[in-house]
Amino acid sequence: MSNIPDDLNYTKEHEWVAGVDDGITVTIGITAYAAEQLGDVVFVQLPEAGSTVEAGDSVGEVESTKSVSEIYTPVGGEVVEVNQTVVDDPSLANSDPYGDGWLFRVRVEGDPEDLLSAEEYTALTSGES
Amino acid sequence: MSRHTPLKDVHESLGATLTDFAGWLMPLRYGSESAEHNAVRQAAGLFDLSHMGEIFVTGPQAGEALDHALVGHLSALAPGRARYTMIVNERGGVQDDLIVYRLGDEEFMVVANASNYEKVAEELKNRAKSFNAVVEDRSEQYALIAVQGPRAQEILATLTDADLDGLKYYAGLPGTVDGRQALIARTGYTGEDGFELFVANQDAVPLWHALSAAGEPYGLRPAGLSSRDTLRLEAGMPLYGNELGEDLTPFDAGLGRVVKFDKPGDFVGRSALEAVKDTPPRRRLVGLVAQGRRVPRHGFPVTKDGAVVGEVTSGAPSQSLGRPIAMAYVDNDAVAGLAVDIRGSHEAVDLVELPFYRRKK
């Protein structure tokens, strides 16, 4: 069973979202479940810092040995920071998906897409595997 | 419902990610596929290949029957040796690529791909009808375990008295490994030295455990189909369904050397292949190395100045080169200025000779 921290929110696209409660800036990454499904991540493409995104947009991609997945932003707003460290070392998305493997930060404008609780995301992933 | 090998429970206990491959539930990877790939390049890897097919052809005319059924000259093969060959249809299209082992004067084993062996067994039976030979599909009785990598011989030597030094590349001999009957073959699909061990199903689990234990001090690790694919791709080895198929001849794939026109008698596909053997195909199989980090994949168009000039057949990130690599069929006159259309973006690639990787002897 993959690690699914209680204090994060999740999306159906297997991303996690941190810091939703303060409603200002959130951090987004892929879940441990997503990383396990992908296998070794070899390439991460992220949105540009300073760009404006809308909730549900495809803003990048995560590529592994066997497959590629798009990265969607579950919130709209300005991309205020991207994780250059994970671009340089994509294996961080596997080894530390909730920590050093984070992907990008957005200053939120408007309401996020429907986000899942840890409990709801656990139910989603156990249905898939 | 997928079929599975005798080692399925072992794979599950090792935490493997299992995947459907050609109707078989097979280990895709046990942990990091990159680590498995590197283990095979630097030490050794242990593979379950029991999904492959083993078809036996026996009898006084077994060699002649195979000469007629396949493109190679198998009756000329010495006992104990093996040959890479193909079975083609009347149009010369590749129905499978095969390794044929001559086990004795009147006994051959044909090893076929999992996706094709039932078709191959059926074709061999039809094509052998007028010969004094018996074709028997024994795939369900045999497991196949491969040990591949520069430490493979040292590891196997701890479990067998067989003369591994005397066993050449593309040779096979019967022996015992950990006290179990096995056909020990020096063949593989990784670009490294290594062995393939054909054993009875009931010996697969104990043999796997014996090899795991013997290999541990040498850095052996179990390796799944994901690393097998990147290893064979670096070695420039074709995969049926990607680089080979019924609409391609051996000449299209740059493998015309496996077709032996000078052997005695007729063979299935001869006239079709003779008609094309001196005509260069419109496209040739080449290697591509990406300049960027996005990965060309099976089916992606190869372009030059925006026009399609080819198609990727296999692609993956390469551990050994540190960049994405691909095999592709590309128009003969397209040499430089190539790109691969990766989801709408034309990513520059360099054309290179195959293979991408060649081991140091």
Q: DSSP secondary-structure letter at B81?
A: B
As a whole number of angstroms, the distance between CA A118 and CA A121 comes to 5
Domain that holds residue A82: 9-113
Nearest to B33 among A39, A45, A63 (CB): A39
pLDDT band, very low/low/confident/very high, at A126 (cuts 50, 70, 90): confident
Q: Look at residue A26 and tell me if it is in a domain.
A: yes
Asked if the structure places residue A16 within a domain, the reply is: yes
A6-19 pLDDT tens trace = 999 999 999 999 98
Cβ contacts (< 8 Å) between A94 and chain B: which residues? 32
Domain-embedded: residue A70: yes
| A2: confidence class by pLDDT, cuts 50, 70, 90 | confident
Q: Which of A40, A43, A68 sits opposite B34 (nearest CB)?
A: A40
**Average pLDDT score over residue span B225-236:** 98
Is A17 part of any domain?
A: yes
Q: Give, in degrees to the nearest 5, the angle at Cα B267 between B265 and B271.
A: 105
What is residue B125's three-state secondary structure? Answer: helix
Residue B275, pLDDT above cutoff 60:
yes
Query: B260: closest CA among B250, B248, B252?
Result: B250
What is the domain-level CATH number for residue A43?
2.40.50.100
Domain-wise residue ranges, chain B: 3-50+141-234, 282-361
CA distance A85 to chain B (A): 16
> Which chain B residues contact residue A39 at CB under 8 A?
17, 28-29, 32-33, 226
Q: Is the pLDDT of residue A52 over 80?
A: yes
pLDDT of residue B2: 85
- How confident is the model at residue A66, as a pLDDT? 87
Give dist(CA B127, CA B87) in Å, integer. Answer: 11
Whether residue B141 is predicted with pLDDT greater than 60 in this model: the reply is yes
Mean pLDDT score, B125-147: 98
Is the omega angle on the peptide bond into residue A47 within 30 degrees of 0, that is, cis? no
Q: How far apart are CA B40 and CA B48, in angstroms?
A: 14
Look at residue B176 in the predicted model and tell me its pLDDT.
98
pLDDT band at B1 (very low <50, low <70, confident <90, very high): low
Contact A79, A51 (CB under 8 A): yes
CB A30 within 8 A of CB A60: no
Residue A85 has a pLDDT of 97
A4, A31 Cβ separation under 8 angstroms: yes
Task: For residue B33, list chain A residues with Cβ-Cβ distance below 8 A.
Answer: 39-40, 65-66
Q: From CA B122, how far away is CA B265, in angstroms rounded?
A: 21
Placement of tokens 């459907």 in the chain: B20
Burial (Cβ within 10 Å: 0-12, 13-18, ≥19) of residue B200: middle
Q: Is A43 within a domain?
A: yes
Say yes or no: A39 contacts chain B, CB-CB below 8 A.
yes
Q: How many domains does chain A have?
A: 1
Q: Residue B186: what pLDDT?
A: 98
ipTM over 0.85: no
Residues B318-342: what's their mean pLDDT?
A: 96
B94 has a pLDDT exceeding 70? yes
In which element (H, E) is residue B38 found?
A: helix B33-42
pLDDT digits (tens, 9 = 90+) for B9-59: 999 999 999 999 999 999 999 999 999 999 999 999 999 999 999 999 999
Mean pLDDT of chain B: 97
- Distance from the A24 Cα atom to the nearest Cα atom in chain B, whole angstroms: 33
Cβ(B324)–Cβ(B290) below 8 Å:
yes
Is the domain spanning B282-361 CATH 2.40.30.110? The answer is yes
Q: What is the pLDDT of residue A128?
A: 64
Q: Categorize the per-residue pLDDT at A99 as very low, low, confident or very high, splitting at 50, 70 and 90.
A: very high
Whether the pLDDT of residue B240 is over 90: the answer is yes
User: If you average pLDDT over residues A61-72, what whole number do you get?
Assistant: 93
Q: CB B149: neighbour CB atoms within 10 A? A: 30
Give the pLDDT of residue B65.
98
Could you give phi then psi for residue B118, rounded to 5 degrees?
-70, -40
What percent of chain B lies above the pLDDT cut of 90? 98
| Chain B CB within 8 Å of residue A25 CB | no
The Cα B140–Cα B130 span in angstroms is: 26
Residue of A38, A45, A65, A129 for testing the chain B interface, max B β-carbons within 10 Å:
A65
| Residue A66: closest CA among B230, B239, B238 | B230
Spell out which residues of chain A touch residue B316, defining contact as CB-CB under 8 Å. 65-66
CB contact under 8 Å between B17 and A36, yes or no, is yes
Residues of chain B contacting A45 with CB distance shorter than 8 Å: 294
Closest CA to A46 of A9, A80, A22, A13: A80
Instruction: Reply yes or no on whether the pLDDT at B121 is more than 90.
Output: yes
Q: Residue B294: its chain A contacts at CB < 8 A? A: 43, 45, 63
The class level of CATH for B3-50+141-234 reads alpha beta
Task: Please identify which residue in the block is written with the tokens 């070899």.
Answer: A42
A94 touches chain B (CB under 8 A): yes
Residue of B294, B312, B318 best to disrupt the A interface, most CBs of A under 10 A: B294
Using alpha carbons, select from B213, B205, B207, B220 the residue that is nearest to residue B4: B205
A77 in a structural domain: yes
**Contact present, A46 and A81 (Cβ < 8 Å):** no
Burial A67-103 (b: 16+ CB within 10 A, else e): ebbebbbbbbbebeebbeebbeebebbbeebbeebbb
Question: Residue A65: its chain B contacts at CB < 8 A?
Answer: 33-34, 226, 230, 316-317
CB-closest option in A45, A65, A94 to B230: A65
Q: Where are the alpha helices (DSSP H) in B216-286?
A: 225-234, 270-276
The C-alpha atoms of residue B246 and residue B57 are separated, in whole angstroms, by 23
- Closest-CA residue of chain A to B293: A43
Is the CB of A66 less than 8 angstroms away from the CB of B226?
yes
Residue A64's pLDDT is what? 94
Q: Is the pLDDT of residue A129 over 60?
A: no
Q: Per-residue pLDDT tens for B200-209?
A: 999 999 999 9
Chain A residues close to B317, C-beta within 8 Å:
42-43, 63, 65
pLDDT at residue number B360: 82
pLDDT score recorded for residue A1: 60
User: Has residue A21 got a pLDDT over 70?
Assistant: no
In the structure, what pLDDT confidence band is assigned to residue A114 with cuts at 50, 70 and 90?
Answer: confident
For position A113, what pLDDT does the model report? 74
Answer yes or no: is A4 within a domain.
no
Dump strand ranges (E) for chain B: 3-4, 17-21, 24-29, 44-48, 53-58, 82-88, 94-104, 107-112, 134-137, 142-148, 172-177, 180-185, 194-200, 220-222, 283-290, 301-304, 307-317, 324-331, 338-342, 345-352
| Site from B295, B314, B341, B345 to mutate, A interface, most A CB atoms within 10 angstroms | B295
Q: What pLDDT score was predicted for residue A19?
A: 87
